[in-house]
Amino acid sequence: MKKIILPSVFLMFATLLFPEKKKINIWLCGDSTMSIKETKSFPETGWGMPFVYFWDSTITVFNKAKNGRSTSSFRNEGLWKQVMDGAGEGDYIFIQFGHNDEVPTKKTYTTETEFRNNLKQYVAEARAKKANPVLLTPMARRKFNAAGQIEGTHDVYAQIIREVANEEKVPLFDMDKKTQALYQQYGAEPSRLLFLQVKPGEHPNYPEGKEDNTHFSELGARLLAQMVLQEIREQVPELSQRIYTPVKK
């Protein structure tokens, strides 16, 4: 008599040979260049918005970034607590600040020393939750000189992030340098396409037009999300294996 192998046995062996991947959460902590936008702000788009669509079913992205936040206000308003309350072992916490920390005239201003200490505290608290912190330098602003060369506007605070990442042995995505290179590749005028730049009467949300060299268009946000994904492919192998790849027919 032939033995019948029950489906449950097949499932058991399949589970042993191909164990199910542990589900991982990615937490995005940052400012308006990353955040989810309201409909009234369209076509302004934070890079965290398209970022969510690049993953397989084992990844969930929680975008906690908010407009105008700094390392200090993100904590003071309870946003960091939300991340800490939700994050678990093996999660990844992406931390990208600087835009609002570095401007002395803003209420969110933090001194260089405060900024450094805030970053170190974020890293320590993420690790205490057995989560994996990742530091990102700010996305560059679009600023070209008369010769058509891109100029940095985050030099001091971006360098602090680089130093903290090195000291704390944390993965660093140097988006300030990489986005500057992207804008330079496009050139002074074509790079406008990457930003929230609309002419008067071109969009109902901005009847008088808008020329914004900090916040991104849909195209710009998507390209920046893809650049972050490239950093993940190069530096975070556990996550790179979970980037969605369409099945070829």
Q: Cα 46 to the chain's mean position, in Å?
A: 9
Question: For residue 18, is pLDDT > 80?
Answer: no
Q: pLDDT grade, residue 14 (50/70/90)?
A: very low
Residue 47 backbone phi and psi in degrees, to 5:
-65, -20
pLDDT at 10: 46
Catalytic pick among 32, 35, 73, 217: 32
Mean pLDDT of 182-194: 96
Amino acid 248: pLDDT: 64
Is 57 tagged catalytic? no
Are 108 and 73 spatial neighbours (Cβ–Cβ below 8 Å)? yes
Q: How confident is the model at residue 245 (pLDDT cuts 50, 70, 90)?
A: confident
C-alpha 37/C-alpha 209 separation (Å) is 18
pLDDT at 5: 46
pLDDT band at 246 (very low <50, low <70, confident <90, very high): low
**197 touches 210 (CB < 8 A):** yes
In DSSP notation, 112-143 reads HHHHHHHHHHHHHHHHHTT-EEEEEPPPPP--
Average pLDDT for 156-185: 97
Instruction: Supply the pTM of this predicted model.
Output: 0.88
What's the CATH superfamily of 23-240? SGNH hydrolase (3.40.50.1110)
Residue 154 annotated as catalytic: no
Catalytic residue among 73, 154, 191, 215: 215
* 155/7: higher pLDDT: 155
Q: Is the pLDDT of residue 13 over 80?
A: no
CA atoms of 140 and 241, how far apart (whole Å)? 28
Q: Indicate which residue of 38, 89, 211, 238 is catalytic.
A: 211
What is the rounded CA–CA span in Å between residue 243 and residue 21? 13
Token pair in block for residue 246: 């369409």
For the cut 60, the answer to whether the pLDDT of residue 29 exceeds it is yes
Site of tokens 């320590």: 124
Is residue 197 within 8 Å of residue 188, measured between CB atoms? no
Mean pLDDT of 138-145: 96
- Residues 78-95 have pLDDT tens digits of 999 999 999 999 999 999
